[in-house]
């Protein structure tokens, strides 16, 4: 299986970039019209001349930016365009357009030509382009957010017709419903930054680092050579704590031991020490430097026993959060303000861990998790999986590969999650996931593989193949609503069986209840702030019990903050299971969780 690795954009002595974020011209195809833009070759025209052209900020989801319900609920193609003059100073470089996330399907045109396409949001891709230095350059992107049984994540697409005997037709011609098989709004568009990368003729294309707690360290550099002769690399590793060089070497790959390294630890278990690998790509004949790339990484070891997850040979208990990249106005669009606030709130509540539910989060966030010492389970965008076909498996494999190639150098990422709540109680699912688990282990042998299940221990068909098991369950919410006294025993009873049957670490990866901020009812009633608090308290009693007898390796509340979903009678302007409101103000439950996480001993 072949995908190219992709490096995070960097500016330095040999490589540069322009961030093309800002206001792009935007045109939405009429609702229900498929491919008008493609048919009429909109990539050849100036979209700003269209009567219905407007601008759309990049990065941002387009859905919540206008007052037009048809923009919010659009299904189908939208078009973005951006024009720029290239600088004469850049003629020496090879240039690439890099897209950090476009959701869901993107066709990329440059100066009138189709240069590539990409399937799936949340993972970066790039294409080499030749700039015009004497005239305007034009990027045109057609984005389609339609979900179906052939997409990951999947959606249910249904045309509806109903005609009464009188001839009255309920639905307008071509009416369809698209229901996502998941519980978050399908925000679409250019969700993360777009870069014009300027790289040397021969450049460092891929960098793979593996660094363990015992000082074992290996790297592998892949170069796009452009025939520039015999290349080599000078390597320096610096401790960012002591600012000392701890290793110097030569070669495009090596496997060495560096004694006495300072370890990367999760918060509460020591410092999250980082090192920097500095690569100088060298032309062997001339001895000249051709390219430089610097990557931060950490020495740490992840292991799994029957009972627990060990980071640096110490039991790591996850005090965590399910989250979303979600905010008012820009939806799932990357925003450094929201990202920083979210991570600050994780720390404020004493958390040490999160899962990138239900898709890989921004690259900026992964670097921040490294720096802050927050341990992360990174999840591929495979939520709600139920169509276990060969083509879907191929797409899923591609997404796993893109995720690992993007994130494998981050010490904070301690596990890969291959799905959230798949229909994993069938033999088809077993065969499907068996291949994907093998693939993931072959792409990265240093991290455990997990999946997030909502099946039962008695019926699940994949759990035994996982390194550790994540279980989502909502006692007191979807089950036994209102019967608080049943919650503790429900969790103890169920988790205990998972543990007994599979003899693997179990993380309670979701639990919680909706609370509309400010809705006060005592005695508590579902949707009140008190009810959310009550559910948490009962669940925590169970977790303490399970933890004390070695049956629980971690807990993650659902969710850090309220977030938008599709409309449904069980959602009042989105999902309200947040500890925080959508604008990140704490609800009552946030204080309960804060107290728990702050006082919970790291080691039992």
Separation CA 299–CA 211 (nearest Å): 5
Task: Report 55-114 residues binding ligand GCB (CB under 6 A).
Answer: none
Q: Count residues near ligand GCB (CB under 6 A).
A: 9
How buried is residue 570: exposed, middle or buried, by Cβ count under 10 Å (0-12/13-18/19+)? exposed
Q: Which residues form the catalytic set?
A: 421
- Taking CB under 6 A as the rule, does residue 558 contact ligand GCB? yes
Q: Which of 29, 307, 407, 421 binds ligand GCB (CB under 6 A)?
A: 421
Question: Looking at beta carbons only, is 44 or 479 nearer to ligand GCB?
Answer: 479
Cis peptide before 153 (omega within 30 of 0): yes
**Least distance CB 105 / ligand GCB (angstroms):** 22
Question: Looking at beta carbons only, is 118 or 324 nearer to ligand GCB?
Answer: 324
| Strand bridging mode 203-211 / 125-129 | unpaired
Separation CA 583–CA 563 (nearest Å): 10
How buried is residue 43: exposed, middle or buried, by Cβ count under 10 Å (0-12/13-18/19+)? buried
Task: Give 347-361 as a DSSP string.
Answer: HHTT--EEE-TTS--
Separation CA 354–CA 371 (nearest Å): 14
Separation CA 595–CA 364 (nearest Å): 29
Separation CA 432–CA 428 (nearest Å): 6
Q: Which of 64, 295, 363, 454 binds ligand GCB (CB under 6 A)?
A: 454
Question: Looking at beta carbons only, is 26 or 416 nearer to ligand GCB?
Answer: 416
**Least distance CB 577 / ligand GCB (angstroms):** 5
Task: Give 568-587 as a DSSP string.
Answer: BTTBSSSB---SB-TT--B-
**Least distance CB 421 / ligand GCB (angstroms):** 5
Three-state secondary-structure class, residue 474:
coil
Q: Which of 146, 420, 424, 538 binds ligand GCB (CB under 6 A)?
A: 420
Question: Looking at beta carbons only, is 408 or 587 nearer to ligand GCB?
Answer: 587
Question: Looking at beta carbons only, is 510 or 534 nearer to ligand GCB?
Answer: 510
- Taking CB under 6 A as the rule, does residue 472 contact ligand GCB? yes
**Least distance CB 575 / ligand GCB (angstroms):** 5
Check residue 169 and report its DSSP letter. B
**Least distance CB 112 / ligand GCB (angstroms):** 41
Query: Which residue in the shown chain puts its C-beta closest to ligand GCB?
Result: 183
Task: Report 204-243 residues binding ligand GCB (CB under 6 A).
Answer: none
Separation CA 488–CA 473 (nearest Å): 12
Tokens for 504? 């693997």
Q: Which of 181, 183, 307, 370 binds ligand GCB (CB under 6 A)?
A: 183
**Least distance CB 341 / ligand GCB (angstroms):** 21
Phi, psi of 27 (to 5 degrees): -135, 130
**Least distance CB 357 / ligand GCB (angstroms):** 6
The helix (run of H) or strand (run of E) holding residue 544 is helix 529-548
Binding string, 498-537, against ligand GCB, x = CB under 6 A?
------------x---------------------------
Check residue 554 and report its DSSP letter. E
- Taking CB under 6 A as the rule, does residue 494 contact ligand GCB? no
- Taking CB under 6 A as the rule, does residue 575 contact ligand GCB? yes
Binding string, 583-602, against ligand GCB, x = CB under 6 A?
--------------------
**Among 138, 6, 18, residue whose Cα is nearest residue 82:** 138
Separation CA 321–CA 539 (nearest Å): 15
Separation CA 20–CA 198 (nearest Å): 13
- Taking CB under 6 A as the rule, does residue 450 contact ligand GCB? no
**Least distance CB 66 / ligand GCB (angstroms):** 26
Binding string, 163-182, against ligand GCB, x = CB under 6 A?
--------------------
- Spatial contact of 525 and 479, defined as CB atoms under 8 Å apart: no
Question: Looking at beta carbons only, is 346 or 471 nearer to ligand GCB?
Answer: 471
Q: Applying CB under 6 A, which residues contact ligand GCB?
A: 183, 420-421, 454, 472, 510, 558, 575, 577
């Amino acid at each position: 299986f072949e995908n190219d690795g992709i490096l995070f954009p960097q500016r330095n002595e040999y490589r540069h970039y322009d961030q093309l974020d800002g206001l792009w011209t935007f045109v939405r195809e009429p609702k229900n019209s498929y491919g008008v833009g493609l048919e009429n070759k909109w990539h050849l025209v100036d979209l700003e001349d269209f009567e219905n052209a407007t601008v759309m900020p990049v990065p941002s989801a387009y859905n919540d930016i206008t007052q037009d319900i048809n923009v919010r609920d659009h299904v189908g193609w939208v078009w973005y365009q951006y024009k720029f003059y290239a600088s004469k100073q850049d003629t020496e470089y090879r240039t690439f357009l890099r897209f950090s996330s476009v959701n869901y399907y993107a066709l990329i045109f440059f100066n009138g030509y189709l240069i590539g396409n990409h399937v799936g949001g949340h993972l970066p891709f790039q294409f080499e382009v030749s700039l015009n230095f004497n005239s305007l350059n034009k990027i045109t992107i057609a984005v389609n957010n339609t979900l179906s049984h052939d997409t990951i994540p999947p959606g249910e697409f249904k045309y509806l017709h109903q005609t009464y005997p009188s001839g009255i037709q309920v639905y307008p011609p071509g009416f369809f419903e698209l229901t996502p098989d998941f519980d978050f709004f399908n925000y679409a568009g250019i969700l993360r930054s777009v870069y014009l990368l300027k790289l040397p003729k021969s450049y460092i294309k891929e960098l793979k680092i593996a660094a363990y707690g015992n000082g074992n360290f290996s790297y592998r550099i892949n170069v796009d050579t452009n025939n520039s002769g015999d290349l080599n690399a000078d390597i320096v590793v610096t401790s960012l704590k002591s600012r000392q060089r701890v290793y110097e070497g030569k070669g495009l790959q090596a496997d060495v031991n560096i004694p006495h390294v300072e370890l990367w630890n999760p918060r509460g278990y020591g410092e999250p020490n980082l090192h920097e690998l500095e690569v100088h790509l060298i032309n062997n004949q001339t001895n000249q430097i051709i390219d430089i790339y610097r990557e931060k990484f950490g020495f740490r070891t992840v292991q799994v026993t029957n009972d627990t997850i060990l980071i640096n040979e110490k039991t790591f208990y996850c005090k965590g959060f399910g989250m979303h990249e979600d905010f008012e106005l820009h939806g799932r669009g990357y925003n450094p303000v929201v990202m920083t606030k979210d991570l600050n709130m994780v720390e404020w509540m004493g958390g040490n861990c999160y899962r990138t539910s239900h898709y890989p989060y921004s690259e900026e966030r992964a670097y921040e998790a490294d720096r802050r010492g927050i341990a992360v389970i990174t999840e591929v965008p495979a939520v709600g999986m139920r169509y276990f076909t060969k083509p879907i498996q191929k797409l899923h494999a591609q997404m796993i590969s893109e995720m690992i190639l993007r994130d494998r150098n981050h010490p904070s990422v301690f596990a890969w999650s291959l799905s959230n709540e798949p229909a994993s109680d069938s033999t088809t699912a077993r065969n499907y996931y068996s291949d994907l688990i093998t693939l993931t282990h072959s792409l990265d042998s240093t991290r455990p593989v997990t999946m997030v299940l909502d099946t039962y221990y008695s019926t699940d068909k994949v759990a035994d193949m996982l390194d550790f098991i994540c279980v989502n369950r909502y006692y007191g919410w979807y089950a036994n609503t209102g019967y608080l006294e049943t919650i503790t025993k429900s969790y103890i009873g169920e988790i205990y069986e998972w543990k007994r049957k599979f003899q693997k670490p179990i993380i309670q990866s979701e639990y919680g209840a909706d609370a509309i901020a400010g809705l006060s009812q005592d005695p508590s009633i579902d949707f009140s702030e008190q009810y959310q608090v009550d559910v948490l308290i009962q669940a925590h009693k169970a977790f303490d019990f399970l933890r004390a007898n070695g049956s629980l390796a971690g807990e993650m509340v659902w969710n850090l903050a309220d977030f938008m979903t599709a409309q449904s009678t069980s959602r009042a302007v989105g999902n309200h299971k947040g500890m925080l409101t959508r604008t990140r103000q704490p609800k009552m439950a946030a204080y309960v969780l804060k107290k728990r996480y702050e006082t919970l001993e790291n080691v039992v």
